Amino acid sequence: MKVVLGLLVLLSFVSCIEISDDITIHNDGSGTFRYKINLSASKIKVNSILALDSLDGKPIPSIAKISAKINEFVRILDAQNGISNVLVEENYTDYIFKLSCDFKNIKQLQDAIRLSIAQITDDKVTAPMDQYWLNWDGNMLVRNIPTYITQQIKSYKIQDLDLLKEGVYTSIARFDRPVASCQNKLSVISKNQMAVLVKTNTYALKENQHLLDNTIVLSPR
């Protein structure tokens, strides 16, 4: 638990951050999920923070402990039903981290991620197990950020709020057939109409966590 808290403290002091989630959903509901955190623009600051034992009274984990916790998460995730081909890339020179996995359906993906996070944190105050952030019915993808996540984001005391405007969050959804419509005004549909991108800066996302919410309707089969 201390390592996870330390990771949150570390991220809260790093304002220039690039995060992306990229999900491919096939017509049968299976697909691939990719997640990336890029702290390379703040690597000098990250190195200075990691050199400390604690910050604001909270422990800062070593690189060895961070790596161990990431690999524990990967091991647990890989053992979950409906999840396969779990891969992780850790770059502790530029502080770039990538995670990818295949899934049989959206519900199994979300259950697996949530269970894996719960096991590595040993958090007794668990998130409501009935709240999902993705729903797919074969023709429409609905993305809503759960209430417990928005409350956590609001509670983070981020340093240098203005610098958050330099950070970027990108969300991409890819499909096997064309997109007919999108609800989110920030949506950009690809030229082949098979993917949707939503991009915002991390400051705007902290102020309004629902900027990534979207309803994407696909063309009939």
Q: What is the mean pLDDT of residues 3-15?
A: 49
Q: Please give the tally of structural domains in the chain.
A: 1
119 pLDDT above the threshold of 90: no
Domain that holds residue 123: 2-218
For residues 17-43, average pLDDT: 92
Give the helix, strand, coil percentages of the chain, each rounded to 5: 35, 30, 35
Residue 94 pLDDT level (bands cut at 50, 70, 90): very high
Other C-beta atoms closer than 10 Å to the C-beta of 1 total 10
Separation CA 104–CA 83 (nearest Å) = 7
pLDDT tens, position by position, 50-67? 888 877 777 888 899 889
pLDDT tens, residue by residue, 192-214: 999 999 998 877 877 787 888 99
Is-contact 146 133, C-beta < 8 A? yes
Q: What does the block give as tokens for 72?
A: 């524990």
Whether the pLDDT of residue 135 is over 90: the answer is yes
Q: Averaging pLDDT over each range in 64-68, 94-98, 166-170, 191-195, which range is the top one?
A: 191-195
